Amino acid sequence: MNRLWTIMRKEVFHIWRDPRTLAMIVVLPALLLVLLGFGISFEQQSVKMAVADFSKTDSSRNFIEKFTASKDFVYAYDVSNEDVLIDLINRDLVDVGILIPENYDRDLLGGTQAKIPIYIDGSMQPTDSLTLQLKLNSITSMVAQDMLIEKVVKSGLSSSLNLPVTGILKTLYNPNGDSKIYMIPGLIAILLQVQTLILSALAIVREREQGTMEQLIVTPVRSWELMLGKIIPYLVVCIFNLLALLWLSQLFFGITVAGSLGVLIGLSIIFILGSLGMGVLISTISQSQLQAMYILLFVVLMPAIILSGLMFSRENMPAFTYWFSEMLPVTQYLEITRGIMVRGVEASSLFFSSTLPLIILSVVYFVASILVFRKRI
């Protein structure tokens, strides 16, 4: 125990003697949560729209008002011809262009189907483009439905007209579709993953580069004592950051832990230990800090951000990619944070799908870091 305490004090001194690094360790994750929490959004609002209205009638104006009635679209430009409309899209000044033909009102009055070309900038992200298409089609269908109902009412057939089926939608947990409720728990998981890996991945390789590993070799310190002595101070720092991130999530975004806070913290400690073990494992097999950072960035961090389910669904991934992401503790932890924070589920509900895999992966990486490490250069 004395040997373990000595290593811990040595590692705490390394952290404490550099106040600039200590401030970065504590403050940067909090700043990133706030920055990314406000900056990342899947909600498409205030989409700029250009309109070429050749009809200039009440019917055409009512059609445009259906698009601008919400925050989804902004009437940015009123143009005189189709070429100018397309040019605005080409210059990335608008994302949507609507062209109302001159005979729009006459077609409506004559019972002919009015056709309105709607141009969309397809160079944007495909998911954004698809969402935009769905919104435009929904609004257009709503306008057509209102016109049809008005026509039926005027004909006197409305009393006998009933829709055969109606769907009653009930959205659980996030009825308003706020993307922050989806993103913030995921960001907490990713930020903890990044921090734990960076802090621990440089631990052993730093000793090797500074030439202090020889001093540790001649001491009676055992491998597991050296590993724990280096990991425990970082564990304390990461737990403090977890609590700070949870507090900031409530302060800035109003996101509270719907489930058990104690269970979330307990599973977070398991995740942090596994991630620290993974970082030490990378540090042990690396010959320099540059090599450790390359392995950390390209083998773990980038796949963790892209493949863990933070922004993209994992269900449609190829088998190899899917199972590679399953080997990352952050994938399991991300499901746990969303489950406990958003849905308020018990740990038992996620036991086989996320909790047990997280425990197994954390134990495997932690034990592997001890077995791979040798008290030699």
- Here the tokens at position 357 are 């895999």
Please tell me whether residues 346 and 215 are part of one structural domain: yes
Please tell me whether residues 103 and 126 are part of one structural domain: yes
Q: Which of 134, 151, 168 is the last residue of a domain?
A: 151
| Structural domain boundaries enclosing 315 | 2-40+177-372
Would 159 be classed as within a structural domain? no
User: Tens digit of pLDDT for each residue in 286-317?
Assistant: 877 888 888 888 888 888 888 888 877 787 78
pLDDT band at 121 (very low <50, low <70, confident <90, very high): confident
User: Tens digit of pLDDT for each residue in 259-287?
Assistant: 899 999 999 999 999 998 888 888 888 87
Segment 100-119 mean pLDDT: 85
User: Tens digit of pLDDT for each residue in 315-340?
Assistant: 778 888 889 989 999 999 999 999 99
Kindly list the distances between the CA atom of residue 172 and the CA atoms of 63, 145, 175, 259, 344, in Å, as whole numbers in the listed order: 33, 28, 6, 15, 11
User: Tens digit of pLDDT for each residue in 30-43?
Assistant: 888 887 777 666 66
Would 156 be classed as within a structural domain? no
Please tell me whether residues 204 and 105 are part of one structural domain: no
CATH code (residue 72)? 3.40.1710.10
Please tell me whether residues 107 and 252 are part of one structural domain: no
Segment 370-374 mean pLDDT: 75
Please tell me whether residues 147 and 188 are part of one structural domain: no
Please tell me whether residues 127 and 186 are part of one structural domain: no
| pLDDT score of 1 | 64
CA dist 256 and 250 (Å) reads: 5
| pLDDT score of 40 | 67
CA dist 324 and 303 (Å) reads: 9
Kindly list the distances between the CA atom of residue 66 and the CA atoms of 79, 111, 138, 140, 195, in Å, as whole numbers in the listed order: 19, 21, 11, 8, 47
Please tell me whether residues 238 and 345 are part of one structural domain: yes
Please tell me whether residues 326 and 283 are part of one structural domain: yes
| pLDDT score of 376 | 46
Please tell me whether residues 188 and 215 are part of one structural domain: yes
Segment 65-77 mean pLDDT: 86
User: Tens digit of pLDDT for each residue in 225-255?
Assistant: 777 777 888 888 899 999 999 999 999 988 8
Please tell me whether residues 140 and 200 are part of one structural domain: no
CA dist 233 and 212 (Å) reads: 19
| pLDDT score of 288 | 79
CA dist 85 and 93 (Å) reads: 10
Would 164 be classed as within a structural domain? no
